Structure 1
């Protein structure tokens, strides 16, 4: 399994946080859930951070079975629709977003 992660680095404009996350829920999440081949979608709204951490407002994670499925997803007609909607929501945000793809190893807690 691979996870494509979008990091939303920056800050939501003053007084617009609830509007930003409402629009994420109502406008973006339905599109993200429609991406072909996606097996899970997680949206993380940051609750706390280390004092010296970069300002991250949100992290989006999408799981896919393999790179070929990610490539097909990125070529799908939903991607430009999702990107256009994201650009509109980002008008409430000062910063940038970027993507990473990773393969996780899940470790059980030590006994």
Structure 2
């Protein structure tokens, strides 16, 4: 399983946090869920952080079975639609977003 992660680094405009996340929920999440081959979509809203951590407002994670599935997603006609909607929502945000592709190893807790 591979995860394509978008890191939204920066800050939401003062007083616009609820509006920002409502627009993410209403406008972006439906698009993200329509991407071909996506197994799971997680939207993570920051609740707390270390004092010296970079300002991260949101993390989007999308799971795919393999790299071919990610490439099909990126070639999908949904991608430009999603990007255009993201640009509009980002008008409430000071910062940037960037993507990472990771492969996780899941470890059981020590007993």
Range class of TM-score, shorter chain: over 0.9
Whether 2:87 is the aligned partner of 1:87: answer yes
Deviations 1:43-79 (A, max 9, x none): 0000000000000000000000000000010000000
In 2: Cα distance, 1:91 partner to 1:10 partner: 12
Q: What's the counterpart of residue 74 of structure 1?
A: 74
Is the partner of 1:86 in helix, strand or coil?
Answer: helix
Write out aligned runs for 1:43-54 (5 A): 43-54=43-54
Q: Name the count of aligned residue pairs.
A: 111
Moved beyond 3 Å, runs of 4+: none
Mark the runs of 5 or more structure 1 residues left unpaired by the alignment: none
TM-score by structure 1 length? 1.00
Mark the runs of 5 or more structure 2 residues left unpaired by the alignment: none
Superposition CA RMSD, Å: 0.2
Deviations 1:75-104 (A, max 9, x none): 000000000000000000000000000000
Is the partner of 1:48 in helix, strand or coil?
Answer: coil
Is the partner of 1:15 in helix, strand or coil?
Answer: coil
In 1: Cα distance, 2:67 partner to 2:2 partner: 7
TM-score by structure 2 length? 1.00
